[in-house]
Amino acid sequence: MKNMWGNSTMSGADWRSESAYNEVQKAETADMAWEWLRRDREYHKDFKSLLSSEHSSVTDHFRRKWGLTFCSRSPKNIR
């Protein structure tokens, strides 16, 4: 599994296996945060609202709620 920068991050291995957690020990804070957010349904719902909005108040609310910052709001940079 790759993170948003293309580096290896946590695998999709069996969570019950001790060896599956070896990758977690190598993960950086941003990797762990991304793994959490990408599985959070409420985050996905809020992200869809953010993408469909032109209002900066929605962006501000999203940033405060999820503790995120953005370098660019350009649609071509959002994947």
**Which domain, by its residues, includes 70?**
40-77
What is the per-residue burial (b if ≥16 Cβ within 10 Å, else e) of 28-58? eeebeebbeeeeeeebeebbeebeeeeeeee
11 has pLDDT over 80: no
Over range 50-78, report the average pLDDT: 80
- 6 falls within a domain: no
Q: How far is Cα 66 from Cα 69, in angstroms, rounded to an integer?
A: 9
pLDDT given at position 48 = 92
- 51 falls within a domain: yes
- 48 falls within a domain: yes
Q: Give the total number of structural domains in the chain.
A: 1
pLDDT given at position 54 = 82
- 67 falls within a domain: yes
Torsion of CA 6, 33, 45, 12, to 10 degrees: 60
**pTM recorded for the entire structure:** 0.57
Q: To which residue do tokens 């999203």 refer?
A: 62
- 22 falls within a domain: no
Average pLDDT, the chain: 78
Over range 23-27, report the average pLDDT: 80
- 14 falls within a domain: no
- 8 falls within a domain: no
